[in-house]
Amino acid sequence: MERTLSSWKFIIIILAIVVVLIALWFVVPTVKKQIDHVQYMASHYVTQTTLTDEQRSTIEQSIRDIESEIASGDTKDEPTMTMQYIDLGIHFASLGRNDLSLDAYKRAANADPTSFVAFSNIGSVHEAAGNYEDAKDAYRQAISKAPTESSNYQKLAELYWYHLDEVAVARGVFIEGLMGTNQDPNLMRAYALFLEQNNYLSESLLYWQEIAKQSPDDARIQEHINSLLPTPTP
């Protein structure tokens, strides 16, 4: 009887370990994606909590200066006015005033409808606010204005990936971007990481190897490639 109970205890322990391992199999990638997402958002947006009082004061003075220049009417050419509005939007965004930032970027787009930077930044503000449909439209507008600019494709692809969990669509945008930018190195790196983090390891490895050819002196790339290679069995 005691042997039977011991056997059952052993079986229960084994089952518990299996359950924990299965849970970790699903949880770890999810946590990894959430960490990546936080890092991604931090790299795209500056929040008011990162500013000192002196920095805030400097930014506010810059805003007043730009607004004064615009109000004076001294700026006649569209490119200069467009950049003034873009600068204004960046300053407002750094203060956490996304509403005023969006308005400034829209004014930049009106001043120069060909400015991909204006539309790209409009997309970033919408994305930060959770307005993903508006963000998609703005990024697409940016791509149409500058089809060889890699950052626009990367922003759109990462929007589909991080926020909408549409991995297949994100992958398509990356491929579209690589074709449109003639295999831009920065976009290639972003795509290699995307493939790696979505378990397309063999394809990711091919891209990393191509990246290594373009940057033969970067030892970190080769180290990363080695980490992706299967461990040889003894």
The domain that holds 187 is classified in CATH as 1.25.40.10
Distant-in-sequence, close-in-space partners of 226: CB < 8 Å, separation ≥ 6: none
**Average pLDDT by consecutive 10-residue portion of the chain (234 residues)?**
49 46 39 40 48 91 92 73 93 93 96 95 96 98 97 97 96 98 95 95 92 89 86 66
In a domain, 142, yes or no: yes
178 and 119 assigned to the same domain: no
Host domain of residue 217? 155-234
Q: Which of 146, 163, 181 is the last residue of a domain?
A: 146
Contact 127, 154 (CB under 8 A): no
Rounded to an integer, what distance in angstroms lies between the CA atom of residue 6 and that of residue 12? 10
In a domain, 33, yes or no: no
Helices (H) and strands (E) in the chain, counts: 11, 0
In a domain, 187, yes or no: yes
Q: Which of 124, 146, 168 is the last residue of a domain?
A: 146
In a domain, 9, yes or no: no
In a domain, 5, yes or no: no
Instruction: Indicate the Cα dihedral angle 185, 189, 194, 199, nearest 10°.
Output: 120
- What does pTM read for this prediction? 0.76
226 and 159 assigned to the same domain: yes
Contact 102, 120 (CB under 8 A): no
In a domain, 210, yes or no: yes
In a domain, 26, yes or no: no
| pLDDT of res. 171 | 97
Tokens matching residue 11: 């079986």
Number of domains in the chain: 2
119 and 181 assigned to the same domain: no
How many Å separate Cα 12 from the centre of its chain? Answer: 44
| pLDDT of res. 7 | 53
Nearest to 152 by CA among 141, 162, 164, 167: 141
Tokens matching residue 79: 């490119």
Distant-in-sequence, close-in-space partners of 48: CB < 8 Å, separation ≥ 6: 56, 94, 95, 96
138 and 166 assigned to the same domain: no
In a domain, 80, yes or no: yes
Length of the chain (residues): 234
233 and 177 assigned to the same domain: yes
